[in-house]
Amino acid sequence: MSVITAAVPPVFVSPPAAPTDGLWRLSVDNYHAMMEAGILLDGDPVELLEGLLVEKMSKNPAHVLSSGLTRKSLERLAPADWFVNAQDPITTMDSEPEPDLSVVRGDPRRYKTRHPGPQDLALVVEVSDSTLQRDRTMKLRLYARAMIPIYWIVNLVEGRIEVYTDPTGPDEKPSYRQRRDYGPADEVPFIIEGRVIGRIAVRDLLP
């Protein structure tokens, strides 16, 4: 005889959450093909991180303010053959993140047909409040894997700037070997290719 069990227990009916295993990963080429075919549009709040389409968080006013302040400081100091991008894509092997700021080599026209890659970048910056966890784990991992030499987290939660340097590259556990934190009374060195371009007061970047 068959065993009759009552109604299916509630363990079955949790609300949909992304599966914890076996998510399909898209290549950067797949991602570009989706945009060319109009399957993903420029306005879609999404970025490709390690093969996954990850939703971008909306930004609160403090985030926008700090991004703007940091952008101005970097632009004021950047030498002639470097420029600053804001929330524009960069392309790595497995990802196409859109960092809050990136310091890019050369003339902007150089990037008419492709986004800047790791070899074109001196610095990427994420301004973090609600995204702090993502910026310290997934983003840090993919920037380190891509060998982006310097990564700043403008940490609005704790009011400091975290500077990550010396990336491992495509290691089993990619990471930055050095982290240095700068508080509101400190000045962060702005370094391009190992040369200090200038110093920026942390106070000037925080809201």
Partner 1 sequence: MSAVLGPVLFAPSVPVLPTEPIWRMSVERYHEMIEAGILTEDDPVELLEGWLVEKMPKNMPHRKAIRRLRLILERLAPVGWFVDAQEPITTTDSEPEPDLAVIRGDSEDYSNHPGPQDLALVVEVSDSTLQRDRITKQRIYARAGVSVYWIVNLIDGQVEVYTDPSGPDEKPSYRQRQDYGPADQVPFLIDGREIGRIAVREVLP
Q: Which residues bind partner 1 (CB under 8 A)?
A: 1-5, 7-8, 10-16, 18-24, 26, 30, 33-34, 37-39, 44, 46, 49-50, 52-55, 133-134, 136-138, 140-141, 164, 172-183, 186, 188
**Which residues on adjacent β-strands are paired with residue 178?**
165
Q: Which is nearer to partner 1, 39 or 64 (CB)?
A: 39
Q: CB of residue 10 vs partner 1: minimum separation in angstroms?
A: 8
Provide, rounded to whole angstroms, the least separation between the CB of residue 130 and partner 1. Answer: 11
User: Based on the number of CB atoms within 10 Å of its own CB, is 63 exposed (0-12), middle (13-18) or buried (19 or more)?
Assistant: buried
Least distance CB 132 / partner 1 (angstroms): 12
Phi, psi of 153 (to 5 degrees): -110, 115
| Amino acid at position 54, single letter | V
Residues 6 or more apart whose Cβ sits within 8 Å of residue 159:
183, 184, 206
Q: Say if residues 149 and 165 touch (Cβ distance below 8 Å).
A: yes
Q: Which C-beta is closer to partner 1: that of 48 or that of 104?
A: 48
User: Residue 22 or 194: which CB sits closer to partner 1?
Assistant: 22
Q: Which is nearer to partner 1, 55 or 193 (CB)?
A: 55
DSSP-based three-state secondary structure for 140? helix
Provide the minimum distance between the beta carbon of 68 and partner 1 in the complex, in angstroms, as a whole number.
24
**Nearer to partner 1 (CB atom), residue 94 or residue 120:** 94
> What are the beta bridge partners of residue 115?
none
Minimum distance between the CB of residue 72 and partner 1, rounded to whole angstroms? 22
Which pair of tokens denotes residue 148? 């982006």
